[in-house]
Structure 1
Amino acid sequence: MDFTFTAIDLPADHPALVQFMLSNEFPFHINARPTRTDLERKISEGAFGGPDHASFWVQSESEGRLGLVILEDLLDDAPLFDLRLSSAARGRGLGAPILQALTAEVVQRWPNVNRFEGQTREDNIAMRKTFLRAGFIKEAHYREGWPVTGAHPLASVAYAILRRDWETGETTTFIWEDLTI
């Protein structure tokens, strides 16, 4: 399946963006069910667009809109992404091919990008496997780094892919425990 990323045009896409965010739950995100007030504040603060952020609808030719992706820190050489698939698009094995297509989009569109990063919480096994299937490797495990409403914080797990890994199809590895005492 081919995926495309269509820029979210604010203010024209404002109603669709708010509707998408309010009509889906995102159980592994810090704010699983953002309120309209939360969204309006984030939109007005530039979280979905601006010089350092960009947002795109994730679409397929056969199924239409599947979700959205928000890119952050685009002025750096290591932007982060926030992928939010609709409830109907989850659990169907679309994550890895979407992430591979997104990686291609980012490294081709932004020549300053050397590495592309994402994070999830430790119990989001589906997303962690998606990262691995898409060629990303685990680079960090932040103990108790992910706030969870009404519960003890979980670990935040960070993954990344290097531009050269994407270009060559080979994964650059490293030694986790490279220092002993």
Structure 2
Amino acid sequence: MRANPTKGATLAADRPEVHLRMLVSDDADWLVEVDRATASGLARGYTWDVDKLAAELDEGVWASDDDFGWAIVVDGEPAGFTLVTGLSGEDARMSIRIAPRLRGRGVGREVLRQLADHHFQANPHLLRLTGRAHEHNVPMQRAFNAAGFRMEARYRESYRATPDGPAASEWGYALTRRDWEAGRHRLGDLGYDLHGLWFEVDQTIDGPQGHGLRFKFLQEGRRAIARYDAHRLTDGELAGIVVGDVIRYRFVHTEERRSGGLEVMGRGRARLQRRGDGRLEVVDEWSDDTGSHGRRVLVERRDES
């Protein structure tokens, strides 16, 4: 079993070199290009005008006590930008855009770590660095999680890609000064990153059949939570702690019966491991307060489509 088996993980030797530098007026052209390339239904573009942006950068609009802009430089080349606002107060908010070709290589995680190191050092009054991720932007959610940011809130119907578009929810994340002082943002991987992954039953070794049972996981530090459903099982939730490759959890769900819905509670122990094809699987042993128990294998869903 691998020590750091996260989905899409790259070896340390393959990770790019990332550093931040202050934005200057000469950056305006490529900033506009990156903004256009990264704008999507999950992240609105800034729709900058090159000349106006260059003038703002020259005037120091993005190098003030309240707002600061950074160029993200990867392997010596500009590859994105991050804007931090509200630095004059106790809560600052970050927005990050990274060129599509570099996503999935740990750049976002390292940017978040460097932002925390700089701004908590440079702004003694700052208590929190915050950010939001679209509910379907799992890569950004995973970057926040890997950089030690705690998932604090779900903002319902808070985001529209266009003024007339449908409203979507966002997840809110934060790293506090206390987290930063404890080095939470640089603890490294705490085990498996389950954030945003789907699993479905591939095989039931013991106990009742799954009947389409599937899980959606979120992980925040060592804490893992999940929602699940199946044929006759609805409104299921579990919460537990990940230690190495094991989740110890408690659960509650509703089972459909002829007499109506029955609330069932229980506990379980799930061991995480990699299959030969690279997918993550969960070997789950559970028992509930009705006396039922079983063992099953949940296999990571490759593609939701």
Deviation at 1:4, TM superposition (A): 2.2
**What is the correspondence of 1:1-181 to structure 2 with a 5 Å cutoff?**
2-9=17-24, 11-22=25-36, 24-27=37-40, 28-31=42-45, 34-37=46-49, 40=52, 48-60=62-74, 62-149=75-162, 151-170=165-184
Deviation at 1:94, TM superposition (A): 2.0
Deviation at 1:25, TM superposition (A): 2.5
Q: Distance in 2 between matches of 1:3 and 1:152?
A: 35
Structure with the largest fraction of helix: 1
Q: Distance in 2 between matches of 1:98 and 1:119?
A: 15
Deviation at 1:130, TM superposition (A): 1.0
Residue 52 of structure 1: SS of its match in structure 2?
coil
Query: In the alignment, residue 91 of structure 1 is paired with which amino acid?
Result: G
Deviation at 1:80, TM superposition (A): 0.5
Structure 1: gaps of 5 or more residues? 174-181
The 8 Å contact of residues 152 and 174 in structure 2, kept in 1 or not, is answered as: yes
Q: Distance in 2 between matches of 1:168 and 1:78?
A: 19
Deviation at 1:66, TM superposition (A): 2.2
Structure with the largest fraction of strand: 2
Q: TM-score, normalised by structure 1?
A: 0.78
Q: Distance in 2 between matches of 1:96 and 1:30?
A: 20
Query: In the alignment, residue 181 of structure 2 is paired with which amino acid?
Result: E
Structure 2: gaps of 5 or more residues? 1-15, 186-220, 222-305
Distance change (3 Å), C-alpha of 1:108 and 1:126:
same
Q: Distance in 2 between matches of 1:17 and 1:36?
A: 9
Aligned length: 167
Q: CA RMSD in A?
A: 2.8
Moved more, 120-129 or 149-158: 149-158
The 8 Å contact of residues 42 and 48 in structure 1, kept in 2 or not, is answered as: no
Residue 172 of structure 2: SS of its match in structure 1?
strand
Instruction: State the Cα deviation string for residues 80-128 of structure 1 (Å, max 9, x = none).
Output: 0111111222122322122112211111122221110001111111111
* Relative contact order, higher structure (CA 8 A, sep 6+): 1
Q: Distance in 1 between matches of 2:66 and 2:156?
A: 28
Q: Distance in 1 between matches of 2:77 and 2:26?
A: 18
Q: Distance in 1 between matches of 2:62 and 2:180?
A: 26
Deviation at 1:155, TM superposition (A): 0.5
Q: Distance in 2 between matches of 1:42 and 1:129?
A: 33
Residue 131 of structure 1: SS of its match in structure 2?
helix
